[in-house]
Amino acid sequence: MIYVTGDTHGSYRHVRAFAREHSLGPDDVIVCLGDTGFDYFGDERDDAVKTRAARAGVTFLCIRGNRDRNPATLADYRLQPWRGGEAYVDPAYPTLLLARDGSVFDLEGRSAIAIGGAYSVDKRHRLANGHLWFPDEQLTEAEKEHVEQALDRRHWRIDTVLSHTCPAAFVPQEALLPSIDQSTVDTSMEDWLQRIEQRLRYRRWYCGHFHIEKQEGRLRFLHKDIVPL
C-alpha cells in the first residue's frame, strides 16, 4: 500500500502507531510531503530522528521541505534508482528515501512526480535568533527546468503531484500566520507551481507546508492525517 502524510518535523510517533494499526511492513510506502526533520541539525540529533522514523518498519518516500537540507549537498547520501525515479539514500537508513525533485515514480501503477522546496516565512525570526535556515530551501532555476523536462517527456500528463508547497491559487489564506507581513513573503515557488498546475493534466495533487487538513478540488493539504494514495 501507498500512503501520504504531511510535515512531520521530526515527530513520528503517530506514523509508528498507524503502521502498527494497519500491520504495515517494508513493502508499504508512506510519502512524507516535506519538513521531515531528518537532516535539520547536521549532528547526532538527526540520527535520533531517523532512528525513530525507521522504527515504523515502512519505506518512506520524502519530498524536500523548506526545513530539510538538500540531500544532494550531503556526503552520506547516494542517488539511486527507485520505482522509475531517483532518490537519495543514506546507507545507514535504507528505508528513508529522499526524492530527487522532478523524479517520476511508479506508485502501484500511478505516476507521481516529486516537487520539493518552499520559502520559510519565519526566515527573519530564525536568523535573528541564531536558528538554522537553508539558503537553497527553494528550487533553483536548473531544478525547476529539470521538473519541467520530466513533464515534457510525459506530454504534461501525470496521475499525481507530490509537492511541499502548493500553486498560488490554492494558498489557504486561513492558514497564513497573522504575525507575518505577507508582502515580505517570497511566493515565487507558488507562482511557478501555478503555471505548472494550469498546464498540467493530472488527477490528484498532495501538498503539506501549511499545517492544515483540507481538500480543494483535486488538491489535498495534509498535516497529521495519513491517507491512501
Structural domain range at position 130: 2-228
Cell 523524479 sits at which residue? 103
CA 114 to chain centre: 7
pLDDT digits (tens, 9 = 90+) for 6-39: 999 999 999 999 999 999 999 999 999 999 999 9
Separation of alpha carbons 87 and 77, rounded Å: 9
pLDDT digits (tens, 9 = 90+) for 105-122: 999 999 999 999 999 998
Grouping H, G, I as helix, E, B as strand and the rest as coil, residue 49 is helix
Neighbours of 98 (CB within 10 A): 28
Separation of alpha carbons 147 and 112, rounded Å: 12
**Residue 142: band (very low, low, confident or very high) from pLDDT cuts 50, 70, 90:** very high
How many folded domains does the chain comprise? 1
- How high is the mean pLDDT of the chain? 95
> pLDDT at residue 86 above 90?
yes
Per-residue pLDDT, averaged over 48-63, amounts to 97
> pLDDT at residue 57 above 90?
yes
pLDDT digits (tens, 9 = 90+) for 165-184: 999 999 999 988 887 778 87
**Residue 125: band (very low, low, confident or very high) from pLDDT cuts 50, 70, 90:** confident
The CATH number of the domain where 193 resides is what? 3.60.21
pTM reported for the whole predicted model: 0.96
Separation of alpha carbons 152 and 149, rounded Å: 5
User: How much is the pLDDT for 126?
Assistant: 87
The strands making up 59-62's β-sheet, listed across from edge to edge, are 78-82, 85-89, 96-99, 59-62, 29-32, 2-5, 226-228
